[in-house]
A and B are shown apart, each in its own frame.
Chain A
Amino acid sequence: MPVLRLISRRLLTSIPVLVIVIAGTFFLLNAASGDAVDAYLGSIGGGSATLAAELRAQYGLDGSAWARLGFYLGQLAQGDLGYSVALNRPIGAVIWERLPPTLWLMGSAVALSFLLGSSLGIVAGRRPGSLADRLLSTGSLALYSVPSFWLGLVLSILFAVKLRWFPVSGLETIASGKTGLARASDIGWHLALPVAALGMIYLALFLRMMRAGMAEVWGEDYVLAARARGLSERRITLNHVARNALLPLITMLGLQAAGMLGGSVVIESVFAIPGFGRLAQEAVAGRDSALLMGIILTSALLVIAANLLVDLAYGLLDPRVGSGAGGRDA
């Protein structure tokens, strides 16, 4: 099974990457002055020196940096992400709780930007230089140059505060008691604006890539050949031009997974969504290194998984690329 071989090879090669990420994060955080106990005492308006010492001992913050890193890696090897000082809860549970909103947000935003972006890209790339192309290209450039938090605020002010079509913030209606489909639609309604804000930026990116890819392909010999064969314009556009222009977009999709994670920090703040990005922000503010490392580790795994999926999809779309085991299996 070449697919399984690809997956296991990817996971193996990613282990050193993860260790470097963890150690790097650990020493970077360690280089900064102050720790989680300092941040905590600052937030509750002070406390005595003995209280600080007790807390440091309790959370294992009193040893040397190397000892703490060793302890952390040992814990990690046993599948334990440790305990959060800032939140006073096990990190594994916190991450498990905060991941779904972000995955929903990112997944929907990726889907929106990819589907809408590539479709509009086809429209624009169909006749480069046409009115539709110029409108879409300019529009997407404008969108792309806008920071996502600003777009989020504008959408929020217009559609939530002024028009009141959508909720201003939150993941779902508070303590509504909704379950099943009703809850799903409630969450969808709450996510509409944040997904739009996050997705719009990337939509522009996909649109422009698709358009550029198509513009390039139009002059290729096989397009001329298809024309000569008398195929309909529609079929040439979709089956011959767009299909080939789509491949770089798939690559981009994997790369965007990491970028989306960063973008969602901002969007989750603006729309008060209890996701991964906001958790990262809280971890930094509380100087909670174990929590932050747990988040980075999970994010790294997410990005690895996203790229793996992209590779698999690539193999399906373009048999020549294959999955490393040669095209004969495809």
Chain B
Amino acid sequence: MSSLLTRRFFLGSSLGATAALLVSTALPRMAMAAGAGGRLVVANDSEPRQLNPAIAASNGVFFIASKVIETLGQATFEGVKPLLAASWAGGEDGLSITFRLRDGIKWHDGKPFTSEDVAFSAMEVWKPLQNIGRELFANLEKVETPSPDTAVFRFSKPTPLQLIENALPVVSSVLPKHLYEGTDIAANPANSALVGTGPFTFAEYKPGQYYLLKKNPDYWQKGQPLLDEIVFQVLPDRAAAASSLEAGEVQLACFSAVPLSDLDRIKSVDGLEVVTKGYEDLTYQLTVEINHRTKELQDLKVRQAIAFAIDRKFVLDTIFLGYGTIATGPVPESAKTFYTADVTRYDFDTDKANALLDEAGYKKGADGVRFKLRLLPAPYFNETKQFGDYLRQALSKIGIDATIVSNDSAGHQKAVYTDHAFDLAIAPTVFRADPAISTTILVRSGIPDGVPFSNQGGYKNAALDQIIDEALVTLDPAKRVALYQDFQRKVTEDLPLINVVDWTFTSVASTAVKNIANTPRWAVSSWADTELDG
């Protein structure tokens, strides 16, 4: 009798427990279907060491910070448009830019946002501390604040408005002066518990688990944001990100968190879609970096032979599964203002490559090898590593025996950008909306040792240097564009590096998430108009 009782009790309670489990799994989904507002859960594969976008202008930081801290201008498909600034104008001489700021904006702690904040951010943070601002604002002398809604940037050398404008979405995150003034900026607690003017306020960070952002009820754009909360769930494992999406626990994964090879399967899951738009201004370039200290690679014919030996179409189709475009030069096609197709092309041709190497005097030995090289693929993306394997095979077909040297990220940075212990390296360089930002640095001579993603191959070309320097101070936008088109021609002619494929990221999203990918830097934009419905 007693055993019967316990058995019945056990059965009953386990049924009850199962029912409770079912109810609790159903709950989050029901809450989602409520329509307006709601919580958007996003997969996030990294935890930056600090979240301040004014200090570290990087996608990993922007991904979270751009919802809290705003920039002066934002990227749209029609070019850079005002955000914190209402408008801007450059002086005739190129020595000043005047920003008119929006009225009535408040920081999340209630203090008013003024031109003082902009001046402080520019002079105390962007120029001395930021990884990109250090170069870009090198000639910024001071920022005047004649009124609370006006900030005048004064430069010591003519600075093109087009360049600063293109850079605004990346470099111009404004910090609250009242929280940073007189403190050690790099160690300020607000670098993690962000205080900004954006549509979401920073609510909570649990290391290893999540970042929680909450709706800013006093946001200056009326009626926004549309979401109540955004949760960035830390999911470093790609398989975990994919299964969380499939299980409906996560509604959005950006920056190709789901591997390309899984996209076909994910596409077929009900309620999920693969989005390839929204990253147009975050184009990555699969680049073969060349060490010009290596005797063989100093010969243009050898560099041309390598360029001819790469089947770009094959690389695009098999490694990138078609998600990308064939690169023609150092500016990607997605940068419509600057791109030109009128450059020297290197269409796949092994015979030509072999002929060029013969001409250069590197005959094949008895073993079919002309010479040996060290090849260092960057460890950051699967695609760069896979391309390393492909390039090794492609080079072996033209008699170049490449040895792959694999490093982790610290080892790769040091080997290529400090020690120059490479012959060829494969880099995922970034095109940031304007060639002057992080593109010309790849070929400009005289870069000191130890600068990541720069010309560490020791390439020198006076004509190219001159174009780069002239473009930096050319104010007329049309002339600037012409100079950069010339830049593309010179680079493809002399091949200081070889561009192979331009690619951006993909997102996987629940079909319930609306208004996604509506700007060319969407993943790192404010998400003020992003919506969630059943």
Contact = CB atoms under 8 A, between A and B. Distances in A.
Contacts of B25: 164-165
B91 interface: no
Interface in B194-239: 203-204, 206-210, 212, 229, 231, 233-237, 239
A39 B413 contact: yes
A35 to B, nearest CB: 6
A160 interface: yes
Contacts of A35: 410, 414
Contact of A32 (B21, B41, B56, B411): B411
Contacts of B56: 44
Contacts of A284: 408
A14 B89 CA distance: 69
A38 to B, nearest CB: 4
Contact of B234 (A40, A160, A274): A274
Contact of A168 (B50, B249, B412, B430): B249
A169 B235 contact: yes
B131 A174 contact: no
Contacts of A53: 450
A46 B453 contact: yes
A282 B410 CA distance: 13
Contacts of A270: 237, 239-240
B240 A42 contact: no
Contacts of B131: 41, 44-48, 51
B458 to A, nearest CB: 15
Nearest to B248: A164
A48 B247 contact: no
Contacts of B48: 43-44
A326 B215 CA distance: 68
Contacts of B59: 45
A238 interface: no
Contacts of A41: 131, 413, 452
B451 A48 contact: yes
The size class of the interface chain A forms with chain B is 35 or more
B212 A34 contact: no
A97 B207 contact: yes
A274 B49 CA distance: 16
Nearest to B26: A164
B21 A189 contact: yes
Contacts of B412: 34, 42
B311 interface: no
Interface string A65-94: 000000000000000000001111100001
Interface string B442-461: 00000011111110000000
Contact of B236 (A42, A86, A167, A269): A269
B453 A45 contact: yes
Could you say which of A34, A40, A94, A165 has the most chain B C-beta atoms within 10 Å of its C-beta? A34
A272 B237 contact: yes
Contact of A274 (B60, B207, B237, B239): B207
Contacts of A165: 21, 25
Nearest to A160: B247
A44 B411 contact: no
A34 B415 contact: yes
B61 interface: yes
B206 A274 contact: yes
Nearest to A39: B410
B256 interface: no
A85 B58 CA distance: 17
A259 B47 CA distance: 27
Which 3 pairs across A and B sit closest by C-beta, in order of nearness?
A: A274-B208, A34-B410, A34-B414
Given A169-B233, A274-B207, 14 more contacts: A33-B411, A33-B414, A42-B380, A42-B410, A42-B412, A44-B56, A47-B131, A156-B240, A168-B243, A174-B209, A175-B231, A272-B234, A279-B208, A286-B410
